[in-house]
Amino acid sequence: MTAKEHNRLVGIFLMIHGGIQALIMLLISLIYGGMATAILLGAKNDEKFVGVFLIVAIAFVVIFSLLFLAPQVIGGWKMFKEKPNAKIWGIVGSITACMSFPLGTAAGVYGLWFLFGDYGKQLYDNLTNPNYLGEMNAVNDFQYKDNREYQPHNWK
């Protein structure tokens, strides 16, 4: 497999794992949210605290899980589309995926193996890559084209 194929595969794995986690979290939050709503509607004045507490706890768990879910999906998408900062997001997404056993560990270890291995260096650290623009920080398309002319020539 080439470096680009590995890159796309890592991106797909991270997005799939993040999507599975999101679906499971949605299902769990709907089940417990329904239970909390039933407790809240069926309780008397003093017992409504339990339903409110359960809803607040569910909201906290959803927000907390999104903090671990978002880097996987964002990193997978950026790697799949070969965005400039995909390596950083891929590393963060792979590390957060490693915390989930067994599928997340497999996706995370594969992502870290790729990003820190020879294939990842070939794809992301290659200065002669035609997509590499260095530290130019182009303001508009005209400066972008001017700076492209000053990039080193690929003598391969």
116 Cβ neighbours under 8 A, 6+ residues apart: none
In the numeric block, which tokens belong to residue 31?
Answer: 């089940």
What pLDDT does 97 receive? 94
Query: Is 134 a domain residue?
Result: no
* Residue 52, domain member (yes or no): yes
pLDDT at 148 over 80: no
pTM of the model: 0.73
What's the pLDDT at 144? 52
> Could you report the per-residue pLDDT of 50-78, keeping only the tens digit for each?
888 999 999 999 999 999 999 999 999 99
Tell me the pLDDT of the chain averaged across its residues.
84
N-terminal to C-terminal alpha carbon distance within the chain:
21
At 133 the pLDDT is: 47
Range of the domain at 13: 3-125
3-state secondary structure of 139: coil
In a domain, 148, yes or no: no
Question: What sections of 43-127 are H helices per DSSP?
Answer: 48-80, 86-97, 103-116, 118-124
The domain tally of the chain equals: 1
Q: What angle do CA 12, 16, 21 make, to 5 degrees?
A: 150
153 assigned to some structural domain: no
